[in-house]
Amino acid sequence: MEAIDRNAVQQALNRFLQKDAYFHMETSTGSYRALEEPGQIATCAYIRNGVLHFLEGKITGEGPYQVGLKLKNGWLYSQGLTDWELTKDGKLLLGGYDGEGHLNIALQFSFTPFECGA
């Protein structure tokens, strides 16, 4: 991963434009949020190997960055992205890391399924 270069990420996003692609999206407070601070609750959402087809896609901001995708029937939004990687096998990984090294948000695309546990 390296710090997001907006132009490079935009080009990488365009590879998936108007095509069916597997995607991974997540955000999490960490599983121990409630232990860390009374009154708080752990929240988390992830979808892995969903299939997405976006008609338009754009990365915006000056860092951290936002990605918005126009879908046939709606939108996808993500905020807080800091780092990116285009893997050797063509997967686009976008992640939002904080100063503690926590991955707070991720948005990823691939034409082949992401590895997944049983």
Partner 1 sequence: MARKILAIYPHPDDETFVGAGTLIQHTQAGDSVTLVCATLGQMGRRMGKPFFATRESLPHLREKELRDACKVIGIADLRLWKMQDKMLQFKDEGYLAQKVLEVFDDVHPEVVYTFYPGHGVHPDHDALSAAVVRAVTLLPETQRPVMRCKAVTINSRQVLGDPAMEVDVSNVIQEKISALKAHKSQTEFILTHLEEQIKAEPGNAARLLAPYAKETYWIYDTSGKTVS
- Closest CA relative to residue 51, chosen from 94, 106, 110, 93: 110
Nearest-approach distance from CB 105 to partner 1, in angstroms: 10
Rounded Cα–Cα distance for residues 54 and 24 (Å): 14
Nearest to partner 1 of 78, 108 (CB atom) = 108
* CB of 88 vs partner 1, minimal distance in Å: 11
* C-beta atoms surrounding 87 within 10 Å: 10
Q: Indicate the SS3 state at residue 58.
A: strand
Using CB under 8 A as the binding rule, whether residue 30 contacts partner 1 is answered as yes
Among 21, 24, 69, 81, binds partner 1 (CB under 8 A): 24
Joined together, the tokens standing for residue 30 give 């960490």
Q: Binding segment for partner 1 among 51-59, 60-68, 72-80, 110-118 (CB under 8 A)?
A: 110-118
Using CB under 8 A, which of 8, 35, 47, 55 touches partner 1?
Answer: 35
